[in-house]
Amino acid sequence: MMLASALQFDSSFFWHELLSPSGSFLGGLWRTVYISVLAQFFAVIIGLGVALARRSSHRTLRGIGGFYVWVLRGTPLLVQLVIVYDGLAATGIYTFRDVSVFGVLVLASVQAAIVTLALNESAYMSEIIRAGLAAVDVGQHEAALSVGLTPTQVMRYVVVPQAMRFVIPPLGNDFNAMMKNTSILSVIGVPEMFLITQEISSSTFHTFEIFVVAALYYLVLTTIWSIVQSWIELKIDRSWGITRSRQSLWAGLRARIKNPRSLGLVRS
């Protein structure tokens, strides 16, 4: 009887969980969001450093940057998670422990998740940033040097602002992909949305219903970010004097939804 009941779609349970999710589910949703945002923030910073190292005139720096990208892009995120959280502790190198930050308890598994996601994503960010910097006409760099700017000032005031137009679209797409990848954090016990969904499924036996709810919430998150990304791209275009109508903004969003690669479903 229990099996037969579990195979039936309980619409009342589905709508209740969709429209009035439990506190634990909302907690998992919030944890998914802030882990993604923090990991992306650190990934951009690390990725910029790696991108600059790969553009360096020093062979050693280029080699280190290339090796970093090769390792992190060439190994599965799941394996990296286990190495960072369990492997480092097992070898005595470092053990993550729960800490309190401004009165908020940050679990050890959450810390490991942010570190691993940031490192993994930084390898992709470095290639995106490196391509964006390379897209800026070299003449811009030479002209800025000729008027007395230092190389650091040239990079800060001339090259990076122009490279942003090329960096933002793929950066946003990769963020969408990483936000969905937080679902594998459950393997190290991070109580994000997917793990909470599994727990609800185990306790209620409404597996199909609750996972459809989770899928819809993931879809909402990625759709909201797609809209934000389109708005950011529009603002950057306007800052460079490139105007797009509101209709073209939504047309671009529709094209992004139709293209799996732009949504981060496919990584090159």
Q: What is the pLDDT of residue 16?
A: 95
Q: What pLDDT shows up at residue 140?
A: 79
In a domain, 254, yes or no: yes
Residue 266 inside a domain? The answer is: no
Q: What mean pLDDT comes out for the span 96-105?
A: 91
Predicted pLDDT of residue 142: 80
Structural domain includes residue 264? no
Task: For residues 51-79, give the mean pLDDT.
Answer: 94
177, 261 in Cβ contact below 8 A?
A: no
* Mean pLDDT estimate for the chain: 87
Per-residue pLDDT tens digits for 231-267: 888 888 777 666 655 555 555 556 655 565 544 444 5
| Mean pLDDT to the nearest integer, 212-235 | 93
Nearest-angstrom CA–CA distance, 98 and 222: 29
d(CA 170, CA 148): 33
Give residue 135's pLDDT.
Answer: 87
Q: Does residue 263 lie within any of the structural domains?
A: no
For the chain, helix (H) and strand (E) counts, in that order, are 13, 2
Any idea what the CATH number is for the domain that residue 200 is in?
A: 1.10.3720.10
Indicate whether 267 belongs to any domain.
Answer: no
| Tokens, residue 162 | 């122009």
Q: Please report the pLDDT score of residue 265 as a whole number.
A: 45
How far is it, in rounded angstroms, from Cα 28 to Cα 188? 14
- In this prediction, residue 22 carries a pLDDT of 94
Closest Cα partner for 52 from 161, 124, 118, 133?
133
265 belongs to a structural domain:
no
First-last CA distance in the chain: 48
Buried b vs exposed e over 50-62: b needs ≥16 C-beta within 10 Å?
bbbbbeeeeeeee
What pLDDT, on a 0 to 100 scale, did the predictor assign at position 134?
87
The pLDDT value given to residue 1: 44
Output the pLDDT for position 153: 84
Q: Which of 74-78, 139-143, 197-201, 260-264 has the lowest mean pLDDT?
A: 260-264
**Tell me, what DSSP letter sits at residue 116?**
H
Residue 179 lies in a domain: yes
**Calpha distance 187→12 (Å, rounded):** 30
Q: How many domains does the chain have?
A: 1
pLDDT, mean of residues 52-76: 94
Half-sphere exposure in the Cβ direction for 70 (13 Å, CA) = 7
8-22, 171-185, 249-263: least confidently modelled range? 249-263
- In this structure, is residue 43 part of a structural domain? yes
At residue 161, the pLDDT reads 81
Cα–Cα distance, 187 to 76 (Å, whole number): 13
Please tell me the predicted confidence (pLDDT) of residue 141: 76
Reference 246, options 263, 228, 229, 234; nearest CA is: 234
Provide the pLDDT for residue 76.
Answer: 96
| pLDDT given for residue 165 in this prediction | 83
Q: Which domain holds residue 210?
A: 2-258
pLDDT for the residue numbered 267:
55
Q: pLDDT band for position 3 (50/70/90)? A: very low
Q: Which of 2-11, 39-48, 185-194 has the lowest mean pLDDT?
A: 2-11
